[in-house]
Amino acid sequence: MTIPATLRNYAGLGRELVVIGAGNRAEIWDAEAWETYLAEQEKAFSETDEDTIPGIF
């Protein structure tokens, strides 16, 4: 898949990319940006309590 330079620059895409499924669409992330985002989201999810998601804990 070719991504035009203007869109690569706008999205901050580097050489290594990650493609993820997000609901009914695909997202293309810079690999380093994705790892950072994922680490932040995992921390937030781990702080979720029983009242928010009953039965998980």
Residue-wise pLDDT tens digits, 6-56: 999 999 999 999 999 988 999 999 999 999 999 888 877 776 665 665 665
Token digits for 36?
């950072």
Domain that holds residue 33: 5-46
> What is the C-alpha to C-alpha distance for residues 16 and 29, in angstroms, rounded to an integer?
9
Q: Do residues 14 and 3 lie in contact, with contact meaning Cβ atoms separated by under 8 Å?
A: no
Is residue 22 in some structural domain? yes
Token digits for 29?
């992330």
Entry pTM? 0.68
Is residue 57 in some structural domain? no
Is residue 12 in some structural domain? yes
Q: Do residues 29 and 37 lie in contact, with contact meaning Cβ atoms separated by under 8 Å?
A: yes
Token digits for 23?
């609901």
Q: What is the domain count for the chain?
A: 1
> What is the C-alpha to C-alpha distance for residues 4 and 52, in angstroms, rounded to an integer?
41
Is residue 30 in some structural domain? yes
